[in-house]
Structure 1
């Protein structure tokens, strides 16, 4: 069974050795995860995220319990809202979403769950990689799009847009590679119209967080 986009984003953000989300993934990673969930619902043709408002196209369940819970919330919202509103609203539950997807990756034998301590005091759960096959395939797919000239499909364009929006590419590419690839990354991110709403909403929010972080 192929990975969903939220699962792919989590694997890209995970430190394979420690089983923790990398420092660079916080807090942008939460927004990227929520953006990936909305993107997955759009690819499943359950929602339409074109501006100015996100609307439900088909309320039928997808079979993914996490996505179906989000779809039910969008369906029940009395007033249509835009993608940014939904990203900012859903990110409040990002920890629950993360845990649900991590547990799913554990059940599939891709990760294992370990209980540990952070700073010898705080309990934490880590998710070291058991099989890196899926993560390598995701990275290889993204690299093939970035370093080749062919048109990307909608899923890869969205995943690249979200990875860019959350500032995660420095985790995947050396500085000189990133500099060379940046024009292509930008072009691919603009290729899929959904990136203009979901991915741009994530990027705008992340930019605001970065701007005000020193003052917090």
Structure 2
């Protein structure tokens, strides 16, 4: 199976393929998804990071709905901002950017159920094996690190940053160390994005519950 865009793979790992329910805190998930969107821009060399600030390289639209939308938000700002600021900003809209791409690709579908008090919408997987493939690939890479590629290394860093290691392997400490080694192979730009997600996720974890 071909690898999907980074944000799509992060979404699939984060959600139960049967119920469509997110495995982690919604704000933490949104932060990780925003990081994945930024990573897509960086991998495609549309942005870079200079002195901790996100800087655009290629401002042209590429007719790719997610990265074009994210880049448009960055281009609205006259001043450059730190990576963490963009993670915190884009997390508000990241889900609405990414989920339609998954629906259009036939990976998830919308199910609405109604009760007397409320209406619930969920997005289970169309093909459960296909939805589980990114998670399975990470598990496989832990035993075959010589096959590691850059997209999988980014995904490893994001999974580690938001605390989803247990979804990848039951060998908790060993899996964290393995994913950490994968993330360490990343170029500095992608490392900074992963670090920003980790910092935002950590802030959310210690924030008081209102």
RMSD, aligned α-carbons: 2.0
Shift of the 2–187 alpha-carbon distance from structure 1 to 2, 3 Å rule, reads closer
Residue aligning to 1:39? 39
Size of the aligned set, in residue pairs, is: 208
1:206 aligns with 2:201: yes
1:106 aligns with 2:103: yes
Residue aligning to 1:160? 156
SS at match of 2:29: helix
Residue aligning to 1:17? 18
Contact 1:158 1:194 in 2 (8 A): no
How far the C-alpha of 1:87 sits from its partner, in A, is: 0.7
1:150 aligned residue (143, 146, 151): 146
Per the normalisation by structure 1, the TM-score is 0.87
1:183 aligned residue (173, 177, 180): 177
Structure 1 segments of 4+ aligned residues over 4 angstroms from their partners: none
Shift of the 80–142 alpha-carbon distance from structure 1 to 2, 3 Å rule, reads same
How far the C-alpha of 1:3 sits from its partner, in A, is: 1.8
Q: Which piece of structure 1 moves more, 65-74 or 135-144?
A: 135-144
Task: Give structure 1 stretches of 5+ with no counterpart.
Answer: none
SS at match of 1:28: helix
How far the C-alpha of 1:208 sits from its partner, in A, is: 1.3
CA distance in 1, matches of 2:103, 2:69: 21
Shift of the 65–91 alpha-carbon distance from structure 1 to 2, 3 Å rule, reads same
Per the normalisation by structure 2, the TM-score is 0.89
Q: Which piece of structure 1 moves more, 199-208 or 130-139?
A: 130-139
Residue aligning to 1:136? 132
CA distance in 2, matches of 1:130, 1:116: 17
CA distance in 1, matches of 2:50, 2:178: 23
SS at match of 1:130: coil
How far the C-alpha of 1:151 sits from its partner, in A, is: 6.4
| 1:101-147, Cα deviation, whole Å (9 max, x unpaired) | 333322322222100248x6332211111212432321232122222
| 1:66-105, Cα deviation, whole Å (9 max, x unpaired) | 21011122123111111111111112223422xxx33332
Task: Give structure 2 stretches of 5+ with no counterpart.
Answer: none
